[in-house]
Structure 1
Amino acid sequence: MEDLAPEAQAGTGFAQERADLAAAFRWTARLGLHEAVANHFSLAVNETGTAFLINPNQMHFSRIRASDLLLLDADDPGTLKGPEAPDPTAWGLHGAIHRHCPHARCVMHTHSIWSTVLAGLADSTLPPIDQNTATFHDRHVVDTGFGGLAFEEEGRRCAELLSDPKKKVMVMGNHGLLVIGSGVADTFNRLYYFERAAETYLRALQTGQPLRRLSDEIAEKTARELEEYPGQAEAHLREIRAILDAEADSYAT
């Protein structure tokens, strides 16, 4: 990681980035969007995107602090041999994405229930039936080639599906949800709203009634308007951190 300052390479840099990511872990656990110790979030911290922060191996989201986060190099083939090696599936999936998709500055992968139910349907696309679902009109990709746990080969295959910067959500067929973005606030906000949108759609299906699908024109207009809506993602994360700070939570330590 030659483009990082010595203090960053030593694990003491990126205080803001670490605290933001730790807050996202804590809030994800509070919302029940995590799954035991199996899911991972990562954040690129250098220009090329190959140096990234990620949660340590098998630590519960509700306990992760800023100082716990690992700083990895996506181009280091010896990463899994170190004393603080990440989970092999975290390395396989997130390492591949940070290596091959520099536009994916932040990557969040969960097995959140509604998105995972969607991932198990024969048709895992999310139709625009309300404002939240319209947010993702033509902005998500469905992976239909699940090949088992996300070790390096599977990670490379998934990374190839994210080559279009417009597609910032991957419904990982038979697996779960993966969201990318420009930073922690942008990515977490997108993850939160996709999970809510998936719940809305699946609950609508449960009624057995016909769906009132928005036209492609209105869905696209709504998606663009929400993309251009000022400051919502940043405000969402700021309020999460304010709540945690008011509770004297240790996430930022």
Structure 2
Amino acid sequence: MAVASLSPDMSAAEWQQRVDLAACYRLLAHYRMTDLIYTHCTVRVPGEPGRFLINPYGHRWEEITASSLVKIDVDGNKVGDSPHRVNPAGFTIHSAVHMARHDAACVIHTHTRAGMAVASLKEGLLPLNQIALQFYGRLGLHDYEGIALDLDERARIIADLGTHCGLLLRNHGLLTVGRSVAEAFNLMFYLERACEVQVATLSMGREIVLPPREVCEKVGAQYDQMNFDDGDLQLEWDAHLRLLDDIDPSYRT
């Protein structure tokens, strides 16, 4: 379903990015990964260095549309005449990642029950199952420093993320980065699922079996091939969009 952009001078690329990010918010809400009006997903504005899109502060994620997203600069200040508020403090973590990782078009941060539980364990995410093995050797770990209001923390977040696809934020939550909204969402969906499975597995109080290291590394490489070489990522994203269009296509407006 095609919808016109906000203004005649908005590029088609920006409008598509808005639609994808609005879809991401709606999907996170559908899969129960929200924290009321808190935490954020952000994405770069194509062709506008140092400009990003973020959710309007105070909106439930089920309410977010392409046109309601707010354009901000690297310091979290609004760009343009949007009537909506933003939460600059909430952009501290995202800005750090966007500034350091030019491949990080999209950054997603969540405070889910399972994600916060696993992030509070000393061992973090364990290679307990096939889903978790997607992240073997691909997750950074950042120690908790309090609510992310201190800009000095940016450097440490960047160092701990390195070249990884995501972070376990100790005692805090989960973060994923992607070259597209689709990639960042894919990573968050499965990272959350891996955390849920770990919580369930450890709750059984039985002896656990971990695959050998060479198998863990093999499976991680297999996921990369399926998602990117075989085009599964786009197939999956298209399926998500069909789901949203069936439920409520207003995210496109």
TM-score bin, normalised by smaller chain: 0.7 to 0.9
Tell me how far apart the structure 2 counterparts of residues 77 and 209 of structure 1 sit (CA, whole Å): 47
> Does structure 1 residue 196 correspond to structure 2 residue 193?
yes
**What residue number does 2:170 align with?**
173
> In the TM superposition, what is the alpha-carbon distance from 1:79 to its structure 2 partner?
4.9
1: distance between equivalents of 2:27 and 2:92?
25
1:1-253 → structure 2 map (5 Å cutoff) = 7-8=9-10, 14-46=14-46, 50-74=50-74, 79=78, 84-124=84-124, 126-144=125-143, 146-151=144-149, 152-164=151-163, 167-229=164-226, 230-253=230-253
What amino acid is aligned across from residue 9 of structure 2 in structure 1?
E
Q: Contact conserved, 1:26 with 1:251, CA < 8 A, in 2? A: yes
Contact 2:35-2:110 at 8 Å conserved across structures: yes
**Residue 188 of structure 2 aligns to a residue in which SS?**
helix
Distance change >3 Å, CA 194–CA 49, structure 1 → 2:
farther
SS at match of 1:228: helix
What letter matches 1:225 in structure 2?
Q
Cα distance in 2, alignment partners of residues 193 and 77 from structure 1: 29
Unaligned runs of 5+ in 1: 1-5
1:7–1:13: 8 Å Cα contact kept in structure 2?
Answer: no
Residues 139, 161 of structure 2: 8 Å contact kept: no
Name the residue aligned to 1:3.
none
Aligned sequence identity (%): 30
Q: Deviations over 1:133-175 (max 9, x none)?
A: 111100001112x1111123334432332232xx111010010
- Unaligned runs of 5+ residues in structure 2 are 1-7
Q: 1:37 to 1:215 in 2, by over 3 A?
A: same
Distance across 2 between alignment mates of 1:96 and 1:7: 29
Contact 1:41 1:106 in 2 (8 A): yes
Secondary structure class of the residue paired with 1:211? coil
Q: For residues 31 and 65 of structure 2, what CA distance do their matches in structure 1 show?
A: 17
Judge conservation of contact 1:44–1:51 (CA < 8 Å) in 2: yes
User: What is the alpha-carbon distance in structure 1 between the residues aligned to residue 33 and residue 97 of structure 2?
Assistant: 22
Q: CA deviation at 1:43?
A: 0.9
Counterpart of 1:194 in 2: which secondary structure? helix
Assess if the C-alpha contact under 8 Å between 1:49 and 1:99 holds in 2: no
Question: Which deviates the most, 146-155 or 17-26?
Answer: 146-155
Amino acid corresponding to residue 25 of structure 2 in structure 1:
F
Letter in 1 for 2:231: G
Distance 1:215 1:237 in 2: 32
Q: Secondary structure at the match of 1:67?
A: coil
Q: TM-score, normalised by structure 1?
A: 0.86
Report the number of matched residues: 240
